[in-house]
Amino acid sequence: MRIAMIGGGYVGLVSGACFAEFGSDVAVVERDPKKLAALREGRIPIYEPGLDAIVAKNTETGRLTFGDDLSAAISGADAVFIAVGTPTRRGDGHADLTYVYAATEEIARSAKEGLLVVTKSTVPVGTGREVARILRETRPELTFDVASNPEFLREGNAIGDFMRPDRVIIGIDTSGPDEGERATRIMREVYRPLHLIEAPIVITDLETAELTKYAANAFLAMKVTFINEMADLCEKVGGNIHDVARGMGLDQRIGRRFLHPGPGYGGSCFPKDTRALTAIASDAGAPSRLVEATVAVNEDRKSRMAERIIAQAGGSVQGKTVGVLGLTFKPDTDDMREAASLPILAHLHDAGARIQAFDPEGMEPARALLPDGVIYCEDALEAATDADILVVLTEWNVFRAIDPDRLSNAMRGKAIADLRNIWNPATMRAAGFEYSSIGRI
């Protein structure tokens, strides 16, 4: 198969590299000159475990190429995937589809007969129909097919998620003369290697595929928010949130995943997709009160976490040093989008704190997003040095291995606010720390 991937960002790069690993010839189109230059030089502009090796291998074989000429990329392609950004639109919470529609118009001007156009980006219900309309309007004589193929990639585990997915969702436009048979055939061929491992492939209509992506992410965001609220309740009544989560997760109807308390969800998907789903539902006349509440509770939680840190520091952080371990929204990524660290550290900075932080991968992207006064350290112990209070914001494994005695010797104070529950409370208190965590007494 020959595939054109429009967009060399997280979704486009991971998907393109993995399709090439499946054996397809993939041409990735990236218009950002700096990003394109990096990709051509073999430098991966994002941190994703295992991605550099797959990109290098398939670039060397010639199955994966990078360029900025869309017309050349789709020449001879069986399918073109649109994997451009769909950020939250300012003012109304909807996904901004400017880049999707611009790519569609450009594809239409260069497309060959029978091209399959696939939306890989997360897009609202109805986008596939609008893509088809734009294609018809731009090239009335063109025959084409449209499909929706939303991604379900977890940052930090994207390669495994693509290669061994829980499921593949494919929405097909059946309104054409062959009722989507050609599009279905191409998409099954694109994902043929997954048939060999019996990965579930769900073929449905455009609207259902588009909505499935939002529904899945919103449900997971609600699950995270629910366990956070239960953690707060545990602190009030003397329960242990990890035991509560285990007792819940052993119920197969609930499952264990996404039952880990913390300072609130973030990242490139949950915040954006929950906002978009509430806007979609409201416009459709079927408002989603549960998702609306999830968004509000999650935003409030981040502010309350900052106040919690201040309270543990004695009621004020004015002139005090706050050591911070972790900045990214989760471990094994350099993604700072909607990270809990952003509002929490901004709040502490405004309250007069001196902030010194370390993150294994996220410090460079954090510099443009955090207050200017934040000090970036070489390692975790440097971040803890002379700190009056130490705050854990991301559960990187490297932090779990820190020796408590070395930590105690480095710090000036003894307060630790572990917002990711990476350490054992008894161990940390035995080492002399005034230790607090989430949902554990």
pLDDT tens per residue across span 226-257: 999 999 999 999 999 999 999 999 999 999 99
Q: Is residue 329 part of a domain?
A: yes
Q: Is residue 280 part of a domain?
A: yes
Is 102 in the same domain as 195?
A: yes
Q: What is the CATH number of the domain that holds 391?
A: 3.40.50.720
pLDDT at residue 91 in the model: 74
324 backbone dihedrals φ, ψ, rounded to 5°: -125, 125
User: What DSSP state is assigned to residue 276?
Assistant: H
Confidence check: pLDDT of 323 > 90? yes
Residue 51: both structure tokens together: 């991605």
| Bridge partner list, 325 | 358, 392
pLDDT tens digits for 149-165?
Answer: 999 999 999 999 999 99
Q: Is residue 227 part of a domain?
A: no
Domain that holds residue 393: 240-441
Q: Is residue 223 part of a domain?
A: no
Respond yes or no: is residue 269 known to be catalytic. Answer: yes
pLDDT confidence bin for 90, thresholds 50/70/90 = confident
Average pLDDT of the segment spanning 337-359: 97
Q: Is residue 207 part of a domain?
A: no
Using DSSP, state whether 434 is helix, strand or coil: strand
284 backbone dihedrals φ, ψ, rounded to 5°: -85, -5
pLDDT at residue 268 in the model: 85
C-alpha closest to that of 282 among 125, 88, 90:
125
389 backbone dihedrals φ, ψ, rounded to 5°: -145, 140
Q: Which of 199, 226, 250 is the last residue of a domain?
A: 199
pLDDT at residue 426 in the model: 95
Residues of the binding site for NAD(+): 35, 86, 122, 155, 272, 337
Is 92 in the same domain as 150?
A: yes
Residues of the binding site: 35, 86, 122, 152-155, 213, 258-262, 266, 272, 330, 337
Average pLDDT of the segment spanning 360-384: 96
The active-site residue out of 18, 234, 269, 377 is 269
Residues of the binding site for substrate: 152-155, 213, 258-262, 266, 330
Model pTM score: 0.92
Average pLDDT of the segment spanning 87-95: 82
Confidence check: pLDDT of 183 > 90? yes
Is 171 in the same domain as 261?
A: no
For residue 184, the tally of other CB atoms under 10 A from its CB is 18
**Whole-angstrom Cα distance, residue 80 to residue 115?**
8
Range 62-77 burial, b when 16+ CB lie within 10 A, else e: ebbbbbeebeebbeeb
What's the domain count of the chain? 2
Is 159 in the same domain as 252?
A: no
Confidence check: pLDDT of 178 > 90? no
Q: Is residue 230 part of a domain?
A: no
pLDDT tens digits for 417-439?
Answer: 999 999 999 999 999 999 999 99
Is 173 in the same domain as 270?
A: no
User: What DSSP state is assigned to residue 376?
Assistant: E
pLDDT tens digits for 120-150?
Answer: 998 999 999 999 999 999 999 999 999 999 9
pLDDT confidence bin for 88, thresholds 50/70/90 = confident
Is 36 in the same domain as 114?
A: yes
Is 161 in the same domain as 55?
A: yes
